[in-house]
Structure 1
């Protein structure tokens, strides 16, 4: 059952208190984010409320982390029940929650083994370590020569190694030198991957749909062809499903749209139910068995609370039919966005409840549109290629989608009129 979205207003905290909090954040917080001018104090379902009691529809979904909506009762219950029973203990001991969680995740994804971490970037770093060690211990690549191929426009996290193979200049600026051993090819171009593979290639790391890159959907059949090429050359196919996985695109994993079962998968964001960071690196047994005790680990990875919430998230996803719901309502969202006739729009892209509206740079800034949508009661954010992204909680209703797309049309129509009559 989908849960009640609660009352429409909330003003338990004063705006003055929140203004003080913002000032403190700006005074003491690092300037690595530039938040939109709103202070969120409460969330329930698809709605968020600011410090003045105004309600917004959340079309960001915390970059897919809030896929179940905010404060889902089942997930909150799992969190609080486990916190009262047992919190964090070292992986030096077994706990009674982790094995059940890992088994559920492996059976759902078709993987053999799973390694728990916290953030998505940690899951990707784990994948990189596994791929390199597999190359040396199994494939026979000479020590120190393993290469991993990635895609232009990728976003896999913000660690030194990961930004080192980013094609976004800002992500790299001032952070070198970077670890070697990475090569980038155009996204959606299987022939380019084939040409880049050498005997030292360990793996191909790819997002089935590029989220931060602008909700870029590759040509149909791309991943299937990529999987064939990787098998042909004994190269691991690693799909980064941190944003696109767990129902976001209308399949459990986005790679399933092409009927592909990769050698390994990274999961995160929605896996923590929006409540805490939970991530997994899942892989075939041959890949994962390269790890021995002491090779890799995490203080909080696989802790009982994370395992309990992760298990509840997976169970909720399946038992509430949210994957199928994403497919159905995602088609409705894309149809409504594509029905907006406006010269400001260059292209609407997406799959499931993962959509992007690219705008003409000469007519409108996606950042400006995000601010205007905020004023209209819609929370979203711009991303690369001057694109507005939409990734709402999977529990969203059709009527809520209609309300949001009406606001999008109004904001863009206002921009078009201003552009026509400056």
Structure 2
């Protein structure tokens, strides 16, 4: 039996362990000695413990993950999503150790991780890109040329962390001063699209370079870098524009030589679309892809890593299946201290599934989300109504979270029919 190290934690680790056991692999979990949340380890055949505190020194530390893979005799490492899954050093060091990586090559991940390089590649391949610049002097020149607002991002940032929108001259001056003072940080800037519509196109690319659709989704509610609500199929963009995004996605992933599962994100504004970024990892919304394709995406990633080739048209995304997913992110405490969920009630609701692996008897230290609430139905209205009832019927106490923000938006969006939902939001 082949052994796989699941290099993640929480709900995605629990799910990956389940999939690999179904595939006939022996899954080993990892857990930080400083992390009290360890439900994901229970179903694994073993667990490797990681010294250190915080994500950067434990679950996202390439050296410690590679050592854990060596220690358990892993044949392969599966990272799921998150910073580790996008770190090119992981497949590079695993290859040196003779251990397979279930994901794209180090070269592809490096090209995708560097925003300046990714945009340059997209531009070279003919995708529309926004005016952009890297480095404080070039960014200052860009602001002078195109004006404000612009959006600032760390060149190799992950998951929207560190993103900042600059609206005024004073904000621009402050941001440029901070960049100049921090010589060790590289920043990327591009024109900010007001009221932009973010669309993610997820595909699978097999060993023959054939691109297979896994569905598209649109962000309905975003708070900072957090996507609180996503929906599929995409309804807020014209069909012909969406088709161009699908074609541009195929052009980019094949031009990069990417193999595996990837998501290309675009921003839409004023009837045009522009490339934002490419992520060569499992998307956070993978369950939406599964609902529309009938495929286990974790299993599909594993097949692709083993060189699988699929006949064109054999993987289809059924866009008559409507999905809506809400993410109940945890609002960090002002004092930075760990929280403790004292009550967690996720009500049964037809058509709704939850994605949660939190132990309410233990403190919450590294987690930033309580659960993902996914509903599928024959229309967006039905899916949104089910999500609203689930969110309003939830009882989550002990930590601050965004359930009320999501419920308020859904009720005011016009998507959900009046009287839908229980109006009994948990505290």
Common fold, TM-score beyond 0.5? no
Of Structure 1 and Structure 2, which has the larger fraction of its residues in strand?
2
Higher relative contact order (CA 8 A, sep 6+): 1
Q: TM-score, normalised by structure 2?
A: 0.31
Of Structure 1 and Structure 2, which has the larger fraction of its residues in helix?
1
Q: TM-score, normalised by structure 1?
A: 0.31
